[in-house]
Amino acid sequence: MKDRQAPVVVLSIAGFDPSGGAGTIADVKTIASFGCRPVAAITSLTFQNAEGVFGATHETASSLRAQILPIIQEQSLAAIKVGMLPTAGIVREVADLIRERNLPAPVVDPVLLSSSGYRLMEEEAIEVFVDDLLPLARLLTPNISEAEKLTGLTITNEAEMHDAATQLREMGARAVLIKGGHLTQSSEQVQAIDVLDDDGQVVVLRGEWIEAPAVRGTGCMLSAAIAACLGQGINLEESVRIAKDFVADAIRDAT
């Protein structure tokens, strides 16, 4: 019997949403849809549904490490997606594991607040995130409000998205994708605009603005899809384009 090539393994490090709309469940479904083998480590057990987040119980740094070590002892990781990191200890642990074990540079989705306004990362953890994890990331994928929080800038237009991406790279990120979905849209020209800054090479990604009810987990899906593509050897810009198309299809399917 001819041996089949083993699928590439992609690790999701994120919060668990029992309702399945976001977090590791969304990541695992996305990674699998790209033909990769998903593995996952949980940073926090959240209590949520489509109405919002009602609370969470966070893992400890040691319990997160205990989840990840058996995975990397058995599997060779092709890519990592990092989502919700609720505490400073969790952030440090992820950064330590990446350095100690020479793990792939992750795609990092800086999950700070839920769409309903629930804080998903403690204030102390944000400083550790910037100092310890940002310089290790292959790509940072903040939305407008997350980019504003991390940089202190106000972002109201495309030029300010460029400024925020530049500042985040100066803070240590190798590449930044500013997602413009939360940008106030002009009634004259409605587009989905994202800005990708990869080590100073800037590409503006323009797409169709899809009128649809709010879809949960699009940031999770996007970052997981990018990680899955990178794990298969696709370059960053193309990975982002493919991931954006994947999410756009998910939004259309939800209408």
In a domain, 206, yes or no: yes
pLDDT (mean) for 148-155: 95
Q: ∠ CA(186), CA(187), CA(190), 5° rounding?
A: 65
pLDDT in tens, 65-122: 999 999 999 999 999 999 999 999 999 999 999 999 999 999 999 999 877 677 889 9
Q: What is the pLDDT of residue 235?
A: 98
Q: What is the pLDDT of residue 50?
A: 84
In a domain, 2, yes or no: no
In a domain, 3, yes or no: no
pLDDT in tens, 155-191: 999 999 999 999 999 999 999 999 987 565 554 456 7
Task: Tally the domains of the chain.
Answer: 1
Domain coverage including residue 76: 9-254
- 206 bridge partner residues: 193
In a domain, 147, yes or no: yes
- Does the pLDDT value for residue 3 go beyond 50? no
Q: What is the pLDDT of residue 185?
A: 53
In a domain, 132, yes or no: yes
CA distance 87 to 79: 23
In a domain, 55, yes or no: yes
Q: What is the pLDDT of residue 213?
A: 56
Q: What is the pLDDT of residue 246?
A: 94
In a domain, 243, yes or no: yes
CATH number at residue 47: 3.40.1190.20
In a domain, 4, yes or no: no
**Positive/negative CA dihedral, 142, 148, 149, 152:** positive
pLDDT in tens, 202-250: 999 987 766 555 677 899 999 999 999 999 999 999 999 999 999 988 8
Pairing, β 175-179 against β 201-208: unpaired
